[in-house]
Structure 1
Amino acid sequence: MKFQGTNDYVATDDLSMAVNASVSLQRPLLVKGEPGTGKTMLAEQIAASLNLRLIQWHIKSTTKAQQGLYEYDAVSRLRDSQLGNERVHDINNYIKKGKLWEAFEADEQVVLLIDEIDKADIEFPNDLLVEIDKMEFFVYETGETIKAKTRPIVIITSNNEKELPDAFLRRCFFHYISFPSRETMQKIIDVHFPTIKKDLVANALDVFFDVRKIPGLKKKPSTSELVDWLKLLMADDIPDDILQNSDARQAIPPLHGALLKNEQDVQLLERLAFMTRRKNSP
């Protein structure tokens, strides 16, 4: 089976090629790109396209690699021992399986998403090198080795908040999701809003890409923010002529709160609009 995108996800040729190459090589696919470019959704759509179960491990700043394997609750076992609980005799009652264990013991192939790996400590990727490479790990408390019955398709996402170790990168197939071109963005919009007015889309895309070009923005609007903005424009039935020939340097876009997510960027556009109007005034 080959991944070629789905009805709900527009995958460029190079992205489809990267997914299929990682599957063929049996290496994790490391996906980087701007926030909002569909990295997490990619794993969801790969699972849907190939009719596989998706196991998601969302990484936080406090996440440890061991949690992906298993966690042993020694405190609960000690308490049960003091209380004379019979379950204390089976150590498996105190072992919580992690997402890697869940993926390894699956009877069928699954898609394993390790989402935003760069949020964790810098040593986190190194701590998973052997497990991801050999698809096995050892449980010290029970003395058993957990091996993957069927190698999962591993998708790892990163927002480039931290540099990942070279040893980890060598074990991955890498793909950077470039920001969509206008043509690709049009296809994405067609997927989300098949009945949207073409004039509204054309004018909204003009404004959207103009905003992204403004130098000094702290956070450029992303694909997901464009989708939200269009949803609002449709819900409020904004007339097409409000966006037609609109220039973000002269007027703040309507419902700009969907596009701009911090006060510095709003103030920047307000200053640009004020200075441009002042310059053009007689």
Structure 2
Amino acid sequence: MSFTGTDKYIASEELQLAVNAAVTLERPLLIKGEPGTGKTMLAEEVAQSLGTELIPWHIKSTTKAQQGLYEYDAVSRLRDSQLGDPKVQDISNYIVKGKLWHAFEAEQRPVLLIDEIDKADIEFPNDLLQELDRMEFYVYETRQTVKATQRPVVIITSNNEKELPDAFLRRCFFHYIRFPDKEEMARIVDVHFPDLKKNLLNQALESFFNLREIPGLKKKPSTSELIDWLKLLVAEDISPETLQNKGSKQAIPPLYGALLKNEQDIHLFEKLAFMARR
């Protein structure tokens, strides 16, 4: 099993090495990076590259580690017992399998994505230590041990909203996806817009990276926002000359609402543009 990127996902050499190292070491791959740098998409493309199933577990602030293993639906069992349903005699009918359970019993080695783990409370990673380490867990209601038939490829993403416990970090292979430079970004854009005119691409990238360099931005535009912006530029038939006239760091590019996503950054940008005109 070796990952080299896909037709839809341009992976740097460092990222390829990280994925393959985690697979070889049989450790979870912890991926960090700016929002919009393709952390979640990485898991999708690794699964496609390896020709295997992707099992996504998207974490929310209310998500508990136990939900990834299984949940016991006591309410349904009580209701069925009141209705005289004979299936209440078998408690396994009320065990709801979680994402880890599905990954552990998969016939072919799957890719398990634990997406945005830092959204959950601080105890969430610690509550999964043993299960991810030993690749097994115990179901108390049915008195059975669920053990992985083969160790899944585990990819964990984090936006650095909170620190992860040291004990959890020790069990992971870590990689930070650095933001692409202009050359790498041009390759990424080419995947989405293979027929984009070179002049338009060059001017768009110059405006985009100039915007990212403005000090004080609350949220710098990311790769996904650049793709959205380019899609609008093509749809509105914006010429390279239009971007060139607005290519300075202080000028406002057309359709900038696709790049700036909060009023603070828009006000800052408009203020800089106004000062530049004066």
> TM above 0.5, one fold?
yes
Q: Structure 1: which 4+ aligned runs deviate by more than 6 Å? A: none
Q: Per-residue deviation at 1:250? A: 3.5
Q: Which residue of 2 aligns with 1:62?
A: 62
Contact 1:248 1:269 in 2 (8 A): no
Q: Which residue of 1 aligns with 2:203?
A: 203
Residues 66-215 of structure 1 correspond to what in structure 2 (within 5 A)?
Answer: 66-215=66-215
Percentage of matched positions with identical amino acids: 72
Q: Name the CA distance, whole Å, in 2 between partners of 1:218 and 1:34.
A: 13
Deviations 1:165-195 (A, max 9, x none): 0000000000000000111101001111000
Q: Per-residue deviation at 1:248? A: 5.0
- More displaced stretch, 166-175 vs 76-85: 76-85
Q: Per-residue deviation at 1:252? A: 1.2
Deviations 1:65-99 (A, max 9, x none): 00000000111111211221111011111110000
Q: 1:180 to 1:11 in 2, by over 3 A?
A: same
- Aligned AA (2:36): G
Q: Which residue of 2 aligns with 1:267?
A: 267
Contact 2:15 2:177 in 1 (8 A): yes
- Aligned AA (1:265): D
> CA RMSD for the aligned pairs?
0.8
Q: Which residue of 1 aligns with 2:29?
A: 29
1:238 partner SS: coil
Residue 251 in 1 paired to residue 251 in 2?
yes
Q: Name the CA distance, whole Å, in 2 between partners of 1:277 and 1:108.
A: 62
- Aligned AA (1:232): L
Q: Name the CA distance, whole Å, in 1 between partners of 2:29 and 2:257.
A: 34
Contact 1:249 1:269 in 2 (8 A): no
- Aligned AA (2:188): I
Q: Name the CA distance, whole Å, in 2 between partners of 1:80 and 1:189.
A: 55
Q: 1:97 to 1:271 in 2, by over 3 A?
A: same
Q: Name the CA distance, whole Å, in 1 between partners of 2:176 and 2:245.
A: 33
Contact 1:30 1:156 in 2 (8 A): yes
**Which runs of 5 or more residues in structure 2 are unaligned?**
none
Deviations 1:120-162 (A, max 9, x none): 0110000000000000000000000000001000000000001
Length-normalised TM-score, structure 1? 0.97
Contact 1:249 1:276 in 2 (8 A): no
Deviations 1:96-128 (A, max 9, x none): 000000000111100000000000011000000
Q: Name the CA distance, whole Å, in 2 between partners of 1:117 and 1:264.
A: 28
1:244 partner SS: helix
- Aligned AA (1:108): Q
Q: Name the CA distance, whole Å, in 1 between partners of 2:255 and 2:206.
A: 15
Q: Name the CA distance, whole Å, in 2 between partners of 1:248 and 1:40.
A: 33
Contact 2:203 2:247 in 1 (8 A): no
Contact 2:207 2:249 in 1 (8 A): no
Q: Name the CA distance, whole Å, in 2 between partners of 1:3 and 1:147.
A: 26
- Aligned AA (1:205): L
Contact 2:182 2:205 in 1 (8 A): yes
Q: Per-residue deviation at 1:251? A: 2.3
- Aligned AA (2:93): N
Q: Name the CA distance, whole Å, in 1 between partners of 2:119 and 2:127.
A: 14
Q: Per-residue deviation at 1:245? A: 4.8
**Which runs of 5 or more residues in structure 1 are unaligned?**
none
Q: Name the CA distance, whole Å, in 1 between partners of 2:271 and 2:256.
A: 15
2:185 partner SS: helix
- Aligned AA (2:174): F
